[in-house]
Chain A
Amino acid sequence: MSFIPGLGLAKGMALTLRRFFEPKVTIRYPEEAADVSPKFRGRLQLLYDEWGTLKCETCFQCAQACPIECIDMGGTDTKGRYHVHWGAPETYGERRDESALRRSGRPVPDEAYRHFEPIDLAAVDAILAKHDFDPKEMLGILGDVQEAYGHLPVAALKRISSSTGAWYATLYGTASSYRHLRFDPPVTAVAVCRCTGCLMSGAGRIQEALERSLGSRLGLAPARGQIRLEQLPGHIPGAPSPLVTVAGEPQSVTPAAVEKWAAGLAKRAAGRPQA
């Protein structure tokens, strides 16, 4: 016999006997405490940075990842988007410090979250039917909705969630991970260059005309429409002056034809499916 019967038992028992006399690894809390590194994130608290704002951005990734849906968060995210309240009502709570939000200059939300605007959901239903209501094709579905509406309306997301069975929070979280998906309505940025060369070429008149037809002022957020008037930070080399860009693309506009051009731009922007 190449093996000795009982040797395994003896070796095992010798090992435990040796362990009997070795120093123990128990940490006797509270007399002793374990060392944690300064980067340890196991605390059950939200952290603040040195300026007093919460570091949590309510990106919802943790809630999306949680398998038992126990994470909930309130508050608007950094772009002022729709609050996401999801989960048991007793877990709601405004974790954003309101005074910190006010300090940052961002709009402070009110307690009752504003309802999303209802939209025409026919396009959403068509897209869902095309993808066979399969939550595994979520990225395709979201991309199609983005194409149809120009952005991801909340009503569309809710319809997708109820039809496919995917959690709304998952959709929200997925959509915020992709750069091509956006939640707010697209804003066309019409930028006017105000460098000396362009100003000599009539950029001022172009700017006034655009302001009149679009009903907004330079640099302000668009009042109701989707066209935002901006100032280019610098002249694009090689572009003719006066330089007007729409979404970064230089347009050929002359001061004489700017009125008609701006009206056409506004009408085209308004003609997209409403959102």
Chain B
Amino acid sequence: MTTVSRAWSRLTLPGKLIFTLIPLLAALTVGLLVALLLIGPFVWTFLTDNLPLVRFVIAATAVLLMSIPTAFIIIYMEMKIIAQMNLRIGPDRVGPYGSLLSVVHGLKVLVKEDFTPTGADTPVFTLAPVVVYLGAVMSLMVIPFAPGLFGQDFNIGLLYFFAVGGLSVVGLMMAGWSSYNKYSLLGGLRSAAQVISYEIPLTLSVVGLLMLAGTMSLNTIVLNQSGSILDWYIFRQPLGFLIFFIAATAEANRTPFDLTEADSEIVAGFATEYSGMRFGFFFFAEYVGVFIVSAMTVTLFLGGWNAPFDWPWPITVNPDPGSLGILLLILIGVVPVLSTLAFAAPFWLLRSNMPGWQALIIGFVISNLVAVAAVLGWAFISFDWVVGLLWFMLKTYAFVFTFVWMRGTLPRVRIDQLMGFAWKWLLPASLLNLFVTAGALIVLNR
């Protein structure tokens, strides 16, 4: 035993870590294998019997995991695009073109001190960011990203979306009230007033669309817009689109309706007393909200994952490599070499000072890129969900760009102008849209 203790004391810290972890991992692996062997079949039958449950768990996990990188991307986009519009460059030191800056921001909020102010209602204070973030993330579950790529296909998916959007109001009020700070309370009340007064034009503006589509299921709405660009609902409900876009901007607390979180307003509104990761949750929830309203605009009015023209997919390319026989082996050996040489040749021939090995490296890299592009292209034309996802993301990020563009351009409205606009202009306009659509449907006997 003393041999072991002597040897242990001669190890450095990394050595001690390794010598503890490796046996532990080995034991765990063996245990896992034994458990799999013993109970594996039961678990497998359970899973295959409850496939929808499995699907749900995977979908929820994917949605939670994807929301944070989406927030990072949108934060980076905002910083860069607003900077470029201000004739600045924006972040360009942290990572290539400054792309890691939002990741660093995320890490920064993790390491900040997380305190609860004295007098604050602790359980409510702690849960408020969770509720706000939930309100954002749960809406991602019903958005159809691609054919077959959605969380759940409710037949009341649109209603669910609006209901969950209302959940974030509860979170705002919880934050404003439990902070034990009159300015937070005021900010929270203003924010809640803004969100609930814009929810009415938001929901009314899509009722016309619901009458046209006949269903609240988002997947069906997207399917109704398949065909060509002229089938998209934006052409059949232009006023509805406009009202929805404006109301959604206000719902997401974006400029010009962002006085609840503007720097010059009541400190940080309802989030004044929050720091560290709790503030990080509010922060991320806002940017996920931007993604959600863009995605919803795209889903409802711009055809979701449909391409603007009738995409003849899936084009089934059925390569049958086996039929080549021995030629396949020869090709496997020859094609990489030939492609490397082929792509290297122009560089070596046309540049006199390029050494041969450098040209070969360039040729190898380019041939790899071409191969990857070919595989991606094959996936693109063969799998409809790849195409659909690509179009959906393109359209959604075009709208995110528009939101960021508006933030960089437009001045903020006052709270009274904001409320007046919602109740006196958007609400009557959405009712008008509703009546006109209903009248048209009656006249056209649909």
Contact = CB atoms under 8 A, between A and B. Distances in A.
A22 B89 CA distance: 11
Contacts of A22: 87
12 contacts: A9-B410, A12-B409, A13-B406, A13-B409, A16-B405, A16-B409, A17-B85, A19-B86, A20-B84, A24-B87, A25-B88, A28-B92
A34 to B, nearest CB: 15
Contact of B88 (A9, A12, A26): A26
B410 A12 contact: yes
A25 B87 contact: yes
A3 to B, nearest CB: 16
Interface residues on chain B, size class = 10 to 19
B85 A20 contact: yes
B408 interface: yes
Interface in A1-40: 9, 12-13, 15-17, 19-20, 22, 24-26, 28
Give the one of A15, A17, A19, A20 with max B CB within 10 A. A20
B81 interface: yes
Contacts, number: 33
B409 A26 contact: no
A28 B89 contact: yes
Contacts of A17: 85, 405
Interface in B373-426: 405-406, 408-410
Interface residues on chain A, size class = 10 to 19
A contacts with B: majority SS:
helix
Contacts of B409: 12-13, 15-16
Nearest to A25: B87
A32 to B, nearest CB: 11
Contacts of B85: 16-17, 19-20
Complex A-B, nearest 6 residue pairs according to Cβ-Cβ distance, in ascending order: A16-B85, A16-B409, A26-B89, A12-B409, A13-B409, A20-B84
B408 to A, nearest CB: 6
Contacts of A13: 405-406, 409-410
Nearest to A9: B410
A15 B409 CA distance: 9
B401 to A, nearest CB: 10
Contacts of B81: 20
Interface string B87-98: 111001000000
Interface in B75-123: 81, 84-89, 92
Contacts of A26: 87-89
A249 B293 CA distance: 94
Contact of A24 (B89, B406, B408): B89
Nearest to B256: A9
A25 B86 CA distance: 9
Given A9-B410, A12-B410, A24 B405 contact: no
B88 A24 contact: yes
Nearest to A15: B409
Given A19-B85, A25-B88, 11 more contacts: A12-B410, A16-B405, A16-B409, A17-B85, A19-B86, A19-B87, A20-B84, A22-B87, A24-B84, A24-B89, A28-B92
Give the one of B84, B88, B408, B409 with max A CB within 10 A. B409
Contacts of B87: 19, 22, 24-26
